[in-house]
Amino acid sequence: MSKTTKRDKYLAIYAILADAGESELADFVARELELLAKRTAAHRAPTPVQRENVLLKQEICRVLDARPTARATEIAVELGVSVQKVTALLRQLVTDGYVCRVSDGKVTTFTINEANYE
């Protein structure tokens, strides 16, 4: 079951108030919905950590481009960051289709996905 959002709750309240003829309260809820939409539509710049992660993803792709396969530990040692950070970024790169994950028993290696890599 998905989580009920603030917008969903405001829409339900608006529908109840509009059906009950409470126009003043319904207008208030409509205004709150407008403010909520304005806040969510505002362009937000990436955080410093997100900007750093973009650079790290590029470095991970550079490391994988230099060798046919690599383990997360090898990449982490080469870049000087934690294995957990590299693993999380590799998961994102796999989801985006830039990297392929190859499991061979207990050993998991990563390679560049040539079809999506530019």
**Res 101 pLDDT > 60:** yes
Decide if 111 contacts 68 (C-beta within 8 A). Answer: yes
At residue 81, the pLDDT reads 96
The phi and psi torsions of 99 (rounded to 5 degrees) equal: -130, 145
Average pLDDT over residues 89-115: 92
Distance CA(84)–CA(24), nearest Å, equals 53
Q: How many Cα atoms within 13 Å fall on the side-chain side of residue 72?
A: 19
Within 10 A of 32 (CB to CB), how many other CB atoms are there? 15
**Res 3 pLDDT > 80:** yes
Cα of 114 vs its chain's centroid, Å: 23
CATH number of 48-112: 1.10.10.10
At residue 70, the pLDDT reads 94
pLDDT digits (tens, 9 = 90+) for 36-88: 888 877 767 788 999 999 999 999 999 999 998 999 999 999 999 999 999 99
Give the residue carrying structure tokens 């994102």.
92
Read off the pLDDT band of 116 (50, 70, 90): low
Please report, for the chain, the start and end positions of each structural domain, with discontinuous segments joined by +: 6-41, 48-112
Structure tokens at 94: 């796999």
Give the residue carrying structure tokens 């870049």.
79
